[in-house]
Copies of this chain bind each other. A is one copy, B any other.
């Protein structure tokens, strides 16, 4: 078995509406950048994080497609699907593959091409992450499900729409400094409040965008990295990870306002990495909607129950706060090409821990970072902890 696992190469495309670039080309671009970053030209296997390429672009079999087009040779290659947590799950499956000892150098790419579909169809395909028979069939969209949770959170703890808007403001403030972000424009609470309702109380600017993008990481062991001559300043350790599911349909939850799957996943990850929330220098959480950022901070143990939104009000989530989140813009501003998001988070955590984050959004002396990726309305959640080597 391999005991210690590290990331030695990362790459990504800018997130955006890539009308002239296909899914395969996005994936290949991210892969070649990651291989170039690590200085290697060969990997043992490929994991592809992707949610819904069948629906979006009529293409399954992404493992073969991407390994073939990236020129990786006749390696094992599969797609990992866990709704919007597909990327995070793919990273963790890549780590497992290295731990198994069967593969020494594993490539993980997350990719999603969403803009080839009509916007109304994109909304429909995203709702496949919910319970098709018990939710989707009755006309509830994915946005509507999140709106229900947001309303309940506001009513229960006395927050306003303005309070939750602060998560979007923070994401845009950081995204504005990230050349790979889709939205590079700072916004104010007013911007959010003036944006149209898409499912009351959720406004357009509470939500992450439909977009395209790909990100890739290369996972191996320190022994193998030495053998391949990857310089040590590229290394970042995968120190801990956890993953858990919760009921797929929201109505069956014990508590609408607890991301139980995130709690369980985080506990596992903290234990494996021997750290507590206070040891962590930044958190890339899954702010597909602002409400999910608040609930995530609570489930991760960063805030007490009902206090997640307080961290935003108190300014603690900014780069210079106690708990910086969405340091590269998060899903809201960097963008959320769904199956790619978890891998973008891994790339961003790696850059932060190497000290290679862009000016103004580098977390000073970052030693430990956490990424959290949500599939469905909290039904499939991954937590991964990265540490500077």
Contact = CB atoms under 8 A, between A and B. Distances in A.
Interface of A: 1, 22, 24, 51-52, 54-55, 57-65, 67-69, 74-83, 86, 89, 92-93, 96-97, 99-102, 124-125, 127-133, 136, 242-249, 252, 260-261, 264, 375-376, 379-380
Given A60-B128, A61-B81, A78-B380, 14 more contacts: A54-B54, A58-B132, A60-B81, A61-B128, A61-B129, A61-B248, A61-B376, A63-B375, A64-B82, A64-B375, A68-B247, A80-B80, A93-B93, A99-B101
A54 B57 contact: no
A74 B1 contact: no
Contact of A80 (B52, B78, B136): B78
A245 B75 contact: yes
Contacts of A260: 74
B22 A61 contact: no
A256 B141 CA distance: 45
B102 A64 contact: no
A229 to B, nearest CB: 26
Query: Which of A76, A80, A86, A131 neighbours the largest number of chain B CB atoms within 10 Å of its CB?
Result: A76
Contact of A97 (B65, B67, B79, B96): B96
B93 A78 contact: yes
A1 B96 CA distance: 11
Given A81-B81, A102-B99, A132-B58, A248 B74 contact: no
A379 B61 contact: yes
A300 to B, nearest CB: 16
Given A244-B76, A245-B67, A1 B58 contact: no
A372 B63 CA distance: 17
Given A68-B248, A100-B100, A245-B67, A60 B83 contact: yes
